[in-house]
Amino acid sequence: MNITFEEQTVIVTGAGHGFGRTIALAFAADGAQVYACDVQDVALQETAALAEAAGTPLRVRRMDVTDPAAVQTLVDEAARATGRVDVLVNNAGGVLGQVGRPIEEITPADWRAIFAVNVDGAFLCAQAAAPHMKRQRRGRIINISSGAGLGISLTGIQAYASAKAAQIGLTRQLAHELGEWGITVNNVAPGFVRSNPTTERQWESYGEEGQRRLVNNIALKRLGSAQDIAHAVLFFASEQAGWITGQVLSVDGGK
């Protein structure tokens, strides 16, 4: 299967590390004009340096996905500079440094913060990109959810499991709303992958026995990589996935 993104414009959020960085670099390697966005300036520069070293440079922009004006500005900039917006990958999210606690200890601010970055961010980015994709009568929106959105969160964080489930609902709804313009909307739900400082801390917290148990519960008996997630995203963004929409693909080694 020959997948290429020559002359396509791709926006990837949360591209400072982990899945987002790997996804952005993969699109750039396949010829796309990539806008890699994150709130972490230093991490973004590291992403840019890796792309430059590989001979596949990309554009990096600081952007907070919970800021509607910032999102609109970035999407419009990409459309003006390249003439189009072909692919949006809503990867920004996470637990924002929170840890699992009893429900009675969760403040409204804690709850809302996780929803803001995981759900509101995906909504705002899709809202800004949709008019450009409608004009083209073609587009791909890929949301990065989590196995937590299909079951329970290994972190025990109530807001995270709920937000990722909500993002899956948004995926399905937008697929039906935008389909008549040739826009597909799909979701990749990763299993546990050691891809960033947060997941590294989570892995260490399990201890040797917990790590062994986690791996033994995976059908393939091994952890995946950020590259495994990127492969799924590139497939959904490709021409080969043109008649696939509203779907959730679990990339988790088998559960």
Q: What distance separates the 2 farthest-apart alpha carbons in the chain?
A: 54
Instruction: State the pLDDT at residue 230.
Output: 98
In the chain, % of residues over pLDDT 70? 100
And the tokens for 147?
A: 């196995």
pLDDT of residue 155: 87
Q: Kindly state the tokens that stand for 220.
A: 């393939």
E strand map for the chain: 9-12, 33-38, 59-62, 87-90, 139-144, 183-190, 248-251
The answer as to whether 220 is a domain residue is no
pLDDT tens string 93-117: 999 999 999 999 999 999 999 999 9
- 209 inside domain: no
Q: What is the pLDDT of residue 131?
A: 98
- Provide the pLDDT for residue 60: 98
Q: Which pLDDT score is estimated for 2? A: 73
Task: Decide if 3 is inside a domain.
Answer: no
Looking at residue 53, its pLDDT comes to: 98
Q: How far apart are the first and last CA of the chain?
A: 27
Give a yes or no: residue 214 inside a domain. Answer: no
- Residue located via tokens 């990109």: 129
- Residue 238, token pair as written in the block: 């490709």
As given in the structure block, the two tokens for residue 51 are: 């792309």
Is residue 160 part of the annotated active site? The answer reads yes
Q: Tokens in use for 60?
A: 């990096």
Q: Is the pTM of this model over 0.85?
A: yes
**Structural domain that includes position 123:** 9-193+225-251
> How far is the CA of 241 from the CAs of 127, 139, 140, 141, 170, in angstroms?
22, 11, 10, 12, 19
4 belongs to a structural domain = no
Phi-psi region of 5 (alpha: psi -120 to 50; beta: other; left: phi over 0): alpha
Residue 1 has what pLDDT? 65
Residue 217 in domain: no
Task: Exactly one of 19, 160, 192, 236 is catalytic; name it.
Answer: 160
CATH number where 52 lies: 3.40.50.720
**CB atoms near residue 197 (< 10 Å):** 9
Q: Which H/E stretch holds residue 197?
A: helix 197-216
Round to whole Å and give the CA distance between 34 and 234.
13
Domain count, the chain: 1
In which residue ranges of the chain is pLDDT below 70? 1
Phi–psi pair at 192, nearest 5 degrees: -70, 125
Does the residue 20 lie in any domain?
Answer: yes
In a domain, 143, yes or no: yes
